[in-house]
Amino acid sequence: MGKADFLSPKAIGNRIKAKGLQKLRWYCQMCQKQCRDENGFKCHCMSESHQRQLLLASENPNQFLNYFSEEFKSDFVELLRRRFGTKRVHNNIVYNEYISHREHVHMNSTQWETLTDFTKWLGREGYCKVDETPKGWYVQYIDRDPETIRRQEELERKKKQDMDDEERSAKFIEEQVRRGQEGKEPEVCLCAEKEKINMTVVWVTITICFYFYSTTLGPSALKAAASAKRKESSHSRDSKDKKKKSALDEIIEMEEQKKKSVRSDNWIQANIVVKVITKKLGEKYYKKKAVIREVQDKYTAVVKMIDSGDKLKLDQSHLETVIPAPGKRVLIVNGQYKNTEAILEGINEHKFSATLTLDSGRMKGKTVEGIAYEDFSKLA
């Protein structure tokens, strides 16, 4: 009986059935053929092509086993790195997402018999951190890329610096509380025309103000707060109350602006210059500059190499921003001023940040400081 026509209902039904996922036990990894049922798998095992593949595999079985094991390990670890990063996740969640791809390498053709054995092997080889819980095994990818480690160290250094500032502020507040409890004058005295103010009121006011300033603006704003309070002391009580309200309104506005500075996990934009930081493509592209021509699915960029003109499709984790010379135009790709063009005025190597003058949007002409290196890139 001949095959059905291409556009016949039977042929269309066959293609629909062949397109979807089938049971793993009816898949021949050696021939890379998926069968629909037990009878089809039995017929395939008796076929001449399958027998020929078995003869080839019997000559060097370890070679085929090692090949499939390496492919399975590479694809699994790559999916774990790209999909979950360094987050701790259940191994079965990663495995189910891995086998959802129709052309994946099946575990029954590798050196591992179960997913638990494979998970333990990842932990022994140092690819992941693994731990067993009553709910099963969990894995956490270990990122050993030098560029990623460098950026993590920079973020930890910044975080430690911020913590040191908060600790100094907390110690200062504790000292003020101690001096107030002992009945001594606090270091920052809020007085009007040398009139004595009740120590309890002063202590409560100082505590609230310094807690508010330390958690929102940092220690650099404490001096400005004390200076503003000293200026208010030269006016009458009515005008002093009004200025207190205006200062509080300013603080609230600054806090709202700070909350608006929401960062996003995707930063790649079209028409910016980036640098390739992955070694998987070879030395030809490593540390070379490219221009992003198209962004796909927020995290994938189609780039064109500047030197060779080659076109590549890369994940954003394989790219980093490029800092031009002062005076050049850049695009802010993350933070409060995202998607705003600017001009690079200068860089601060100690704080890994730069000073930019906004050149588009409603705040055009405004100069902003402290923009991190990874938050802007050179325009093509």
Residue ranges per domain, the chain?
Answer: 18-141, 147-255, 275-317, 323-380
CA 104/CA 70 separation, integer angstroms: 12
Q: Can you point out the beta strands (E) in the chain? A: 27-28, 33-34, 88-90, 128-133, 136-141, 273-276, 289-296, 300-305, 311-315, 319-321, 329-332, 340-348, 353-358, 367-372, 376-378
Q: Do 275-317 and 323-380 show the same overall fold?
A: yes
Write out pLDDT tens, residues 113-124.
Answer: 899 999 999 998
Phi and psi at 293, nearest 5°, equal -95, -30
293: pLDDT strictly greater than 90: yes
**What pTM value is reported for the model?**
0.35
pLDDT for the residue 165 = 72
User: Per mean pLDDT, which of 28-42, 93-107, 160-174, 241-255 is the most reliable?
Assistant: 93-107
Fold of 323-380: SH3 type barrels. (2.30.30)
- Model confidence band, residue 240 (pLDDT cutoffs 50, 70, 90): very low
Phi-psi category of 126—alpha, beta or left, where left has phi over 0 and alpha has psi -120 to 50? left
Contact in structure between 301 and 292 (CB atoms under 8 Å): yes
User: Counting Cβ atoms within 10 Å, is residue 139 exposed (0-12), middle (13-18) or buried (19+)?
Assistant: buried
66-100 burial by CB neighbour count: b if 16+ within 10 A, else e?
eebbeebbeebbebbbeebeeeebebeebbeebee
- Model confidence band, residue 208 (pLDDT cutoffs 50, 70, 90): low
152: pLDDT strictly greater than 70: yes
Average pLDDT of the chain, as a whole number? 77
pLDDT for the residue 234 = 52
Higher pLDDT, 307 or 230: 307
Fold of 18-141: Arc Repressor Mutant, subunit A (1.10.10)
Fold of 275-317: SH3 type barrels. (2.30.30)
The count of residues in the chain is 380
pLDDT for the residue 100 = 79
